[in-house]
Every structure is written in structure tokens, then in C-alpha cells.
Amino acid sequence: MKGMDDINVKSLLNRLIAVAEEVSMGRYGRHNEIFELTKTGRYPPLITRLAESFGMMIVKVEAREFRLEQIIEDLKKTQDDLFAAKQKLSRENINLKKNLRRTYTFSGILGTSRAIKDVIAKAERIADTTVNVLLTGETGTGKELIAKAIHFSSGRSVKPFIAVNCSAIPETIFESEMFGIEKGVATGVEQRIGKIEAVNGGTIFLDEIGDMPLSCQAKLLRAIEGHEIEKVGSRNTTPVDIRIIAATHRDLKKEIERGSFRDDLFYRLNVVSLNMPPLRERGADIAQLANFFLEQYSKKFGRRGIRLQNNALELFKKYPWPGNVRELENEIERAVALSYSDAITASDLSDDIRNFQDSGRQTINFNLSARESVHEMQRAQILAMLKESKGNKTSAAKKLGLSREGLRKKMKRLGID
């Protein structure tokens, strides 16, 4: 700084200090003074270098603050988006619950037979109570459907309905799955809510309760009797308010005699018992159920207008349906997917149904020669439509009431090149 008096140097330094203090308080009104001092030749080199360093600092501070403002704006926008998403999710959740209440109603359970109407009437009477219910009956009779109708017709409908397949939970993890687990039980283990706590205030559906191991039955009984659970690794208990609807295809009284089911748990669950009738005892309902499933799957597969022929319905009424309603639904789905025309006939049904022998009195067996005749008729019809359409498969398929892909599959099956 040789050649300049002390007053000028101090003045320049004070200007730098003043600007730095302004910048530290977020004010940039005087930062142009810094850039004035960087002009080469007008000020001492050391002052110029110092001003340049200050200038670089200000540029970086401004850039950082600009980025920070952008981040804050982005965070505000994200917060607004999250709030909007939360509101939308809440509305959708409310609508979903309303739809579930409309879907799972007693009036939505199909059937006019006395067997099913008696079950529905009894279920309606106890729906809006807090009693536990035991549903018995063969597999595929619709036990879960009745359980949902009971829940969504009760005051608990605004709370969760959770279905648990008791036969699918290994004994070793039963407690953690049903009662939850406390944080820190083992390294890296986070707290987990069990199914019973998750359904608090609602209904838990314990399917295949008869397959639950004895040791698990004892733990479940303690939770039912005490109205509280204890998470794995916790010394504290959590109060719970649940309604239990249990289901089984087993005869639990026989299981009690064998020693494979606890009688005290049975009596806790069997406050009200509903026995679901097998489909073979609901002969009057078969046509209604079949047409209901037909409508569902014809929409799903884009085959509206498809119908059941009388010969198929006759077989349905004679068949004993060991898989019950579930088997009937599967049969209709299969027939809709595989049938070639808009009329499902006996020849479109599965071998089990076509070949069923009714108590030795009547054999319903569409033999090979009959099937071959049907195939020849179908083959001739397709060839005629292809000839009429001059080989145009799209046109031929339309005339046959099929999709182009459906025609292709049918041609392949019938050996038409």
C-alpha cells in the first residue's frame, strides 16, 4: 500500500467491512462497491485482490441463497401436493367403504332356496350385535361372503374387516403375525402392528380355524378372554376391541374329542353358529348363480350376449358340486373363456360334469363320436364362412360371432390351416 496515505487505506477497508456486514445480514444493496474496488490500476493491488475475494464470496452466497429459495419453494409445492393427495385418498377411502357396504349386503347374496334363506335371516338378526360367530360348512359354500355381509351390515362397518387364513400362518410366526412385534426385539427389527391390533374396532375373519395348532389356539384364547394383546418382546399389553367371525369345514366337536381343538376356544367362538348349505342342497339356486357368474365373466372377457343352453343347465342341476359355489364359478369362467359360440352347450363343459354318473341310474356321457360330430359341424361352418369371406378372417369371425383371435384358436383346435 506504499504510495497511499493511511486515511485512504482505512477508508477502503472500512468500505469492505461495511459491505461484508450488509451481506451477512442478507442485504446486497452495496455489493456494487466491491466490484468498483476490483478495477485494476485505480486501487492498490492488495485492496483489489481483497475486493475480488469478497466479490466471489458474495456471488457464491447469492447463488446459494437462490438455490435455498428454490428448495423452499419446491418443498412448499410438495407439501401442497401431499396435502391434496391426502385429501384425495381420504375421499377415495370414504367412497371405497361406501361401495363395500353396498357390495357386501345380505340382499346381494343370491339364492331363493329355503336352505340359504334361513342362513341369511339368522345372520341378519345378529349382524348388528357384538357376538362372535362360527361359520361351518364345506369348502366353497361362501362363508367369507356371509362374514363380510355381517360386518358391513353392522356398526363396525366403518372399521376394518381383515381375513386371516389360519392354515397358512406357520406356528413359529403366529404371535408376531397376530399380535405384532416390539421394536428392538432383534437387531434391525422395527415395530410391527399385528392383525388383531390392526382390526381394532372392526371384525377379524379367522378362516379355517380348525387347522390352527393347539399352541396357537391357547394364545388366541388369552387375547379373546382378556380383550388385550401383548406384542412379541413387549412387557406391556394393548387393549383391543374386536369381533371374531371364525369359519371351518371341519366338525369341531369331533376335533375336540380327538384332542386337536380346545373346547374352551370352541365355546368362545361358537356364540352363534351358522351352517352354510352345500350347493347340492340348493338346487333351486343353481341357475340363478350360473347366470350371475355368466354375466360377470362375459363382461370380463368382452363376450356380452353369451348364454347358457338348457342342456348345460340340466347337467348343472344333476351334478353334485363337491367344490360348491366356487366350483360353479370356475366352471362358468372356463366355459366363457373356451366356448366358440355365444351359446354355451353341454359340449363346452368340463369332463367332470359331462361324464358324471348320477347314482348309477343315468350316465351323462358325451362320447367321443358325439364330440367328433360336433367338431365336424363346427369345422364345416368355419370353412363355409371363410369361403364366403374370401379368406378374410376378420370378416369370417364377425359372421360367426367370434373375435379374430377366437377364430384363430378355434381353427387351430379343429386342424384348419
Can you give the three-state secondary structure of 265-319, one letter per residue? HHHHHCCEEEECCCHHHCHHHHHHHHHHHHHHHHHHCCCCCCEECHHHHHHHHHC
Q: Chunked in runs of 10, what are the mean pLDDT values of the chain (417 residues)?
A: 55 75 69 67 72 74 77 83 76 60 80 94 94 95 95 92 92 92 73 92 95 93 93 89 95 94 96 95 94 93 89 92 93 91 89 69 43 64 82 79 72 78
Residue 58 neighbours by CB distance under 10 Å: 18
Please, are residues 288 and 316 in contact by the beta-carbon 8 Å criterion? no
Parallel/antiparallel/unpaired status of strands 307-308 and 272-275:
unpaired
C-alpha cell at 224: 379373546
pLDDT at 362: 43
Q: What pLDDT is recorded for position 261?
A: 96
User: CA 223 to CA 179: how far, in whole Å?
Assistant: 9
Q: Assign 3-class secondary structure to 379-410.
A: HHHHHHHHHHCCCCHHHHHHHHCCCHHHHHHH
Per-position b or e across 173-201, b if 16+ CB within 10 A of its CB = ebbbbbbbbbeeeeeeeeebebbbbebbe
Contacts of 281 (CB under 8 A, 6+ apart): 113, 115
CATH fold of 370-417, please? Arc Repressor Mutant, subunit A (1.10.10)
Neighbour-count burial of 239, counting CB atoms closer than 10 A to its CB (0-12 exposed, 13-18 middle, 19+ buried)? exposed
**Domain locations in the chain as residue ranges:** 1-103, 104-277, 279-366, 370-417
Grid coordinates belonging to 206: 379367522
pLDDT of 361 reads 39
**Contact present, 159 and 201 (Cβ < 8 Å):** yes
CA distance 270 to 290: 32
Residue pair 181/130 in contact (Cβ under 8 Å)? The answer is no
Cβ neighbours for 54, distance < 8 A, ≥ 6 positions apart: 16, 19, 20, 34
Question: Is the domain defined by 279-366 classed in CATH 1.10.8.60?
Answer: yes
Q: Quickly list H helices, 171-285.
A: 174-179, 195-198, 214-226, 252-258, 263-269
Whether the CB-CB separation of 210 and 249 falls below 8 Å is answered with: yes
Q: How far apart are the first and last CA of the chain?
A: 101
Task: Collapse the DSSP code of 155 into the 3-class scheme (helix H, G, I; strand E, B; otherwise coil) and give the result.
Answer: helix
CATH 3.40.50.300 fits 104-277, yes or no: yes
What pLDDT shows up at residue 401?
61
Q: Which residues contact 213 (CB under 8 A, 6 or more apart)?
A: 171, 174
> What's the pLDDT score for residue 92?
60
Cβ(294)–Cβ(342) under 8 Å? no
Residue type, 197: E
Contact 119, 277 (CB under 8 A): yes
Residues 11 and 47: their CA atoms lie apart, in Å, by 11
Q: What is the pLDDT of residue 380?
A: 77
Residue 35's nearest CA partner among 56, 62, 61 is: 56
Q: Report the DSSP beta bridge partners of residue 244.
A: 204
- Within 10 Å of residue 107's Cβ, how many Cβ atoms? 10
pLDDT of amino acid 221: 95
